[in-house]
Amino acid sequence: METAQPNPLTRYFRQPAIYLKLPSAGQWWPPNSIDIPENQELAIYPMTAKDEIMLKTPDALMSGQSMVNVIQSCVPGIKNAWNMPSVDLDAVLISIRLATYGSNMDFETTCSHCGHKNLHGLDLSRPLGQIKCPDFGPCVHYKDLKIKLKPQNYKMITDANLIAFEEQRINQTLIDSSLSELEKGERLTASLEKLVNLGIKACSNSTEYIEVGDQKVTDRQHIDDFYANAEKGVVKLLQERVEDLARQAKIPEYDLQCEECTKEYKAELNFDYSSFFDQGF
Reply yes or no on whether the pLDDT at 45 is more than 60: yes
Reply yes or no on whether the pLDDT at 1 is more than 60: no
The 8-class DSSP code of residue 84 comes to: -
Nearest to 246 by CA among 133, 159, 139, 166: 133
Q: Same domain, yes or no, for 107 and 148?
A: no
Q: Same domain, yes or no, for 168 and 87?
A: no
Q: Same domain, yes or no, for 25 and 91?
A: yes
The rounded distance, in Å, linking the Cα atoms of 165 and 168 is 5
Q: What are phi and psi of 104, to 5 degrees?
A: -85, 135
Q: Same domain, yes or no, for 160 and 184?
A: yes
pLDDT at 281: 38
pLDDT digits (tens, 9 = 90+) for 86-119: 999 999 999 999 999 999 998 899 999 999 999 9
pLDDT at 197: 79
Q: What is the DSSP string of 202-229?
A: HHHHTEEEEEETTEEE--HHHHHHHHHH
Q: Same domain, yes or no, for 66 and 23?
A: yes
The rounded distance, in Å, linking the Cα atoms of 146 and 164 is 30
More confident residue, 184 or 280: 184
| Per-chain mean pLDDT for the chain | 88
pLDDT at 60: 63
pLDDT digits (tens, 9 = 90+) for 127-182: 999 999 999 999 999 999 999 999 999 999 888 877 777 667 766 766 666 777 77
Q: Are 61 and 55 in contact (CB under 8 A)?
A: yes
pLDDT band at 82 (very low <50, low <70, confident <90, very high): very high
Establish if 277 belongs to a structural domain: no
pLDDT band at 255 (very low <50, low <70, confident <90, very high): very high
pLDDT at 93: 94
pLDDT at 280: 42
The range of the structural domain enclosing residue 173 comes to 140-243
pLDDT at 176: 63
Q: Are 17 and 44 in contact (CB under 8 A)?
A: yes
Mean pLDDT calculated for residue range 3-21: 91
Residue 43 identity: A
Establish if 6 belongs to a structural domain: no
Q: Same domain, yes or no, for 77 and 161?
A: no
pLDDT at 134: 95
The rounded distance, in Å, linking the Cα atoms of 63 and 109 is 28
Q: What percent of the chain has pLDDT over 70?
A: 91
Given the DSSP bridges, would you call strands 18-21 and 41-44 parallel, antiparallel or unpaired?
Answer: antiparallel
Please name every residue paired with 105 in a beta bridge, in sequence order, or none if there are none.
122
The rounded distance, in Å, linking the Cα atoms of 201 and 27 is 22
Establish if 233 belongs to a structural domain: yes
Residues in the chain: 281
Establish if 281 belongs to a structural domain: no
Reply yes or no on whether the pLDDT at 279 is more than 90: no
Reply yes or no on whether the pLDDT at 61 is more than 70: no
Establish if 275 belongs to a structural domain: no
Mean pLDDT calculated for residue range 238-262: 91
More confident residue, 68 or 197: 68
Q: Same domain, yes or no, for 126 and 20?
A: yes
The rounded distance, in Å, linking the Cα atoms of 167 and 157 is 15
Establish if 274 belongs to a structural domain: no
Assign 3-state DSSP to the chain and report helix, strand, coil percentages, each to 5: 45, 20, 35
pLDDT at 177: 67
> End-to-end alpha-carbon separation of the chain, Å?
52
Residue 237 identity: L
Residues 6+ apart with CB under 8 A from 35: 77, 79
Q: Same domain, yes or no, for 256 and 224?
A: no
pTM: 0.85
Mean pLDDT calculated for residue range 4-15: 90
Q: What is the DSSP string of 255-269?
A: EEE-TTT--EEEE--
> What's the domain count of the chain?
2
pLDDT band at 183 (very low <50, low <70, confident <90, very high): confident
Mean pLDDT calculated for residue range 254-264: 95
Q: Same domain, yes or no, for 33 and 90?
A: yes
pLDDT band at 38 (very low <50, low <70, confident <90, very high): very high
Dihedral angle computed from the Cα positions of residues 244, 206, 276 and 119, in that order, rounded to the nearest 10 degrees: -10
User: Which range scores top for mean pLDDT: 156-160, 194-198, 227-231, 259-263?
Assistant: 259-263
> What is the crossing angle of helices 181-205 and 232-249, to 10°?
70
